[in-house]
Amino acid sequence: MSSSTTSRSRSRELSGADKGQPPIVSVVIPCYNYGRFLASCVRSVVSQEGVRTRVLVIDDASSDDSTTIAAGLADEHPQVEVLVHEVNRGHIATYNEGLLEWASGDYVTLLSADDELPAGSLARSVRLMEANPGVGMVYGGIEEISDISAPASGSNRRARATVHSGRTWLRRRCREAVNVVPTPGTVLRLGVQQGVGGYDPLLTHAGDFDMWLRVALVSDIGYIGGPPQGRYRIHDSSMSHEVYTEPLADVRQRKLVFDSLFAGHADALTRAGIDAEPTYARLAGHPLWWACRAHEKGQPDATAIEEWLAFARETHPAVESLRPYRALRRRQRLGAAFCHRTQLFVGTAIVRRLANSWWWFRWKRFGG
């Protein structure tokens, strides 16, 4: 087991510039009470072929057996190091410690201790970036795993690489106001990671989305379709399960991300031709469409709808001019019972479903 100082000293001796050697990917695995998942996570990394991996498990003062399991994995695999916090520092500080202070080599990825990498994931990402020096980040689809379900056989699908101009990709993300990048399996060029900096401690539950947007400001973005690039574990104690128990929480977090983006990078966004108004219109529109659907189903929750309306008003000052707001007012005037009984808006619902299906097709094929 290594101390923080020893880990950093040893890591700087490694270089991806060694002739004839595969590139080095530094993998940071933060762990807090995920000891039961840690072995499968680490083994999914060290078994990756076509790259050289170095792994840092950072135990953030866990109260379970994470430290013992991590030490055993370090004894078993020479490329694994362990750093143990005596006091819990929180996930953002832990992420940044690994990404900015420890990582070295050519590429870096952050992998939660409850997630995994499918076979070939890192090699696919690295191959795309080695062939495209302007690409600073590569992501792909994920497959879900749990204690009762084994990974699917999606790794047999043919990989398809797409490279997006950073400016075009960023413009689309701002227009849609949705995070299309799963964290498991997303790989950054180390120089890009160091250039954009770490996770924002003010964005405790949407720091990854903020990171992807900042990367797109300085580099192109790669996407790998076909086989999954990461495995995301579904369980009751996962961070996302605890945070997003109601739908508005996710939209609030995305609003904070865009508040930070437009406040901190106004000049760069102006040069890219990106305006804030469409972003906030889309953010405000999400809960308004939820309210429309609730009326169409005849199941409006007055308390929830008032909360959604309040968010829309604070997000977009001219909310009354937005199409989903006008649509909601029409449904409210007619009444939920009438909307549901007559199925008056069934055509609109079909159009929304078709648009959603098309969006998912684009995401699976091109990354959004």
93-133 pLDDT, tens digit per residue, is: 999 999 999 999 999 999 999 999 999 999 999 999 999 99
Residues 279 and 218 in one domain: no
pLDDT digits (tens, 9 = 90+) for 193-204: 999 999 999 999
Q: Are 187 and 150 in contact (CB under 8 A)?
A: no
Residues 110 and 161 in one domain: yes
Pairing of strands 230-233, 142-145: parallel
Task: For residues 320 and 322, give the distance between their C-alpha atoms in angstroms, rounded to a whole number.
Answer: 6
> Tokens at residue 305, please?
């709808």
- What's the confidence (pLDDT) of residue 309? 97
- Residues 238, 280 within the same domain: no
| 287 assigned to some structural domain | yes
Axis crossing angle, helix 247-264 with helix 276-296, rounded to the nearest 10: 170
Which DSSP category does 100 fall into?
I
What single-letter DSSP state applies at residue 311?
H
Three-state DSSP class for 140? strand
For the whole model, what pTM was predicted? 0.90
Show the low-confidence residues of the chain (pLDDT under 70).
1-19, 148-155, 237-245
Please check whether residue 86 is in contact with residue 61, taking contact to mean a CB–CB distance below 8 angstroms.
Answer: yes
List 109's β-bridge partners, or say none. 27, 187
Amino acid at 192: V
CB atoms under 10 Å from CB of 12, counted, come to 9
In this prediction, residue 237 carries a pLDDT of 66
For the chain, how many structural domains are there in total? 2
> Are 280 and 140 in the same domain?
no
Residues with Cβ within 8 Å of residue 86, at least 6 apart in sequence: 61
Residue 183 falls inside a structural domain:
yes
Residues 225 and 171 reside in one and the same domain:
yes
For residue 257, being part of any structural domain is answered with no
- Residue 62, exposed/middle/buried by CB under 10 A (0-12, 13-18, 19+)? buried
CA dihedral 170, 172, 174, 177 (to 10 degrees): -130
Token output for 249: 């929480």
Q: Which of 223, 243, 263 is the last residue before a domain boundary?
A: 243
For residues 218 and 357, state if they share a domain.
no
Residues 279 and 231 in one domain: no
Q: Where on the phi/psi map is residue 90: left (φ > 0), alpha (ψ -120 to 50), or beta?
A: left
The residue segments making up the domain with residue 362 are 275-366
The CA distance from 85 to 173, in Å, is 36
Q: How many CA atoms lie within 13 A of 235 on its CB side?
A: 16
CB of 97 closer than 8 Å to CB of 58: yes
For the chain, how big is the Rg over CA atoms in Å? 22
Predicted confidence at residue 19, as pLDDT, reads 55
Q: What is the structure's pLDDT at 147?
A: 76
Which pLDDT score is estimated for 107?
99
Co-location of 11 and 65 in the same domain: yes
